[in-house]
A and B are shown apart, each in its own frame.
Chain A
Amino acid sequence: MVFYFFKNKKAGIHQRNTMLEEEAMDKVQQKRAPIYEALQEFRKKRVVPFDVPGHKRGRGNPELVELLGEKCVGIDVNSMKPLDNLCHPVSVIREAERLTADAFHAENAFLMVGGTTSAVQSMILSACKRGDKIIMPRNVHKSAINALVLCGAVPVYVNPETDATLGISLGMKIDEVKKAIEENPDAVAILVNNPTYYGICSDIRSIVKLAHAHKMMVLADEAHGTHLYFGKNLPVDAMTAGADMAAVSMHKSGGSLTQSSILLTNKGVNADYVRQIINLTQTTSASYLLLSSLDISRRNLALRGEESFEKVSKMAEYMRGEVNKIGGYYAYGRDLINGGSIYDFDVTKMSIYTLGLGLAGIEVYDLLRDEYDIQIEFGDICNILAYISIGDRAQDVERLVGALADIARHYKKDKTGMLSGEYINPKVICSPQDAFYARKKSVDIESSVGMISGEFVMCYPPGIPILAPGEQITKEIAEYIVYAREKGCSMQGTEDPEVKRLKVLE
């Protein structure tokens, strides 16, 4: 494997006006959208299709055209010379990736069509091989642990502190990372959530310094961090912090279509090898709907991202103030910052603690949808998360705040007997891969205490595993799963669709 770590600090000898010129040049470049432009050109040529897809610009599937529109099915085309090929880009996709890398100040960028899941997994598969150790916080997305099932690497968990009241996992403290590195000097990489679903950031700059000093790579899961690259007064993005790779969910705050994403790599990372890794699992028929949406969204972010995210931040800060005035709710923000486990906070995240009203987050989440026709991102045991984005309008924010006030009026109850989320330190008995492929038997969750889990259990969203393959099941974990299920969290991961039984190692 070929990875180099030469962190060239840009020498400060640039003349000021050269920088300005460069910046102006960048803006001109960023106005381009090569994939989108190629598709426009291609449409004008009215090429007769004797290739896939078989719907042939929708003619073979009129119902689909009715649903999606002619424009949309018209660009659902196959890879071909004028449109390049995602598996081995040489023309327009390559240019689009170049522009993406520039916009995100990365060395290289890869357009991804398998969601940020595929970006996270490609990062891990690029950095780790069988038996390698990777340091990560336990509150990672399931895609990270799934990557370990695929490649056979072993996780070393850093305990992300838990806020006792809010019941959410926080960031990794530097001391904890240091300890993990010292205890595992042979680890090859560290994975960092930047930020977490709830908006919490670790001190990624210091983690990068520490990791590089010990020849470890830093991989950033930026599924919730696209806007960090463009907004002002937001936590630092992974590329600026010097991380080696980052998986960035363009389809979340970036505005592209669901399932599209990007993978960024920094200087010293062998991009050709990363491409090979991506191609192990990536489709050979990448959708041009997804690719062009990435292209257009990148252009939009580069040209207007700063002002857009300023608006989003303002809207979220306004809403935070209004929610906190209602009483009973706690919409947290930068006030949480403590210099350690909460090094920084992403103000665009609208996380609200609901247990003060005697309501689990998931209960408020259900009420909002069933009674008020408002769909929010998720509810967990103690909190809800409303996703605020460039698509929101002031009156929608008023509706959500109004609905929360109405819920506080009508549904408030005694909070005794409500469980708060707690960090349950997992005991990793064997690697996720060994556990996943081991001989297993099925038992009731209640009677599984002490056994080793062969599968995942999680609430989705947020998709952070409560239990991962290879971990010992404790009494607290079993109780938590049963409680979350009863409160109405939508549970996933087990073979049993009702999540009553669990596969454990024999």
Chain B
Amino acid sequence: MEMWFSEYHTDNVKLDLRVEKQLFSGESDCQRIDVCESVEFGKFIALDGEILFSEKDEFIYNEMVSHVPMAVHPSAKKVLIIGGGDGGVAAEFIKYPGIKQIDVVEPDEMLVEVCAEHFPEFSKGLDDPRVNIFYQDGLRFLRDKEEEYDLIINDATDPFGHTEGLFTKEFYGSCYSALKSDGVMVYQHGSPFHEEDRIECVKMHKKAYQAFPISRVYQAHIPTSPSGYWLFGFASKKYHPLENMDADGWNRLGIDTRYYTTNLHKGAFMLPKYVEDMLEEAEDEIEHK
């Protein structure tokens, strides 16, 4: 018997993983959740048929959304993670003694339960006393927050699913208001390679570019993401991700990583020409509006 999990990246391209068994399948109020055991990637979790993360490659994502802003804004104390129900991102932040409070906002309670059962090594990030979980819609949580957070991480990855509200202009506006005057926001910028994804990328950059004085994009190689290539957005009120990076300071903390280094940090912001062109196109459209 052969079992394969297919994720369509476009109508004509798909990623197939050989599956040993399905460990969980359920329908929450927000989405369908599946957990499978795969041969190459270990356990993985899929939301509405799209892989959220796998045991094998999730460290790349978690490290890139946490250490990049922490190296730029080392005095950050209060972090908000939106949609971080699996606990993987929180698990990185609790490595910093300077972090005093981590608020995780996750609308889907079932996702948290399923991750706790099948991915206990990530979700233990949620057990730290500094972490508070709010089972709420991200937009709603943000609505009345003003100048409260040093960092906001948008951990939602799908601009078309139930988290589409976290890719809207009002979301970036709300994040801006919720951040302190030197606050930084990191968000998912999608994969720029396939045409449909590219269009979303352009739209996202436009929204962040309008909402924040500084907005740069950085990259990582994530095998289970479309075309294996993923972009993150770095939006900030004050700090520039390269000019204000404190490499020595970060290295002195001695934080254990598998993907992130301060050298990689610099390289991650050096984008391929076609991605630069795409971002400039978005910026031009705004300037000439």
Contact = CB atoms under 8 A, between A and B. Distances in A.
A398 interface: yes
A399 B140 CA distance: 9
Given A372-B170, A406-B170, A395 B177 contact: no
A325 interface: yes
Contact of B174 (A371, A394, A396, A406): A406
A401 B164 CA distance: 14
B174 A398 contact: no
A410 B140 CA distance: 18
B171 A402 contact: yes
Contacts of A398: 137, 139-140, 165
A373 B144 contact: no
Given A398-B140, A399-B139, A403-B169, 12 more contacts: A322-B140, A325-B143, A372-B168, A372-B170, A395-B107, A395-B165, A398-B165, A399-B165, A401-B143, A402-B142, A403-B170, A409-B177
A374 to B, nearest CB: 9
Instruction: Kindly state the interface size class of chain A when it binds its partner.
Output: 10 to 19
A398 B30 CA distance: 14
Given A325-B144, A409-B173, A410-B173, A403 B168 contact: yes
Contacts of A409: 173, 177
A63 B262 CA distance: 55
Given A325-B144, A401-B139, A395 B164 contact: yes
Contacts of B171: 402
A478 interface: no
Interface string B176-205: 010000000000000000000000000000
B162 interface: yes
A38 to B, nearest CB: 35
B169 A401 contact: no
Interface of A: 322, 325-326, 371-373, 393-396, 398-399, 401-403, 405-406, 409-410
A405 B139 CA distance: 10
Nearest to B171: A402
A401 B168 CA distance: 12
B144 A402 contact: no
Contacts of A326: 143
A21 to B, nearest CB: 37
A373 B139 CA distance: 16
A372 B164 CA distance: 12
Contacts of A325: 143-144
A326 B177 CA distance: 14
Nearest to B163: A395
18 contacts: A322-B140, A326-B143, A373-B168, A393-B162, A395-B30, A395-B107, A395-B137, A395-B139, A396-B165, A401-B139, A401-B140, A402-B171, A402-B174, A403-B169, A406-B170, A406-B173, A406-B174, A410-B173
A372 B168 CA distance: 7
Nearest to B173: A406
Interface string B131-145: 000000101101110
Contacts of B142: 402
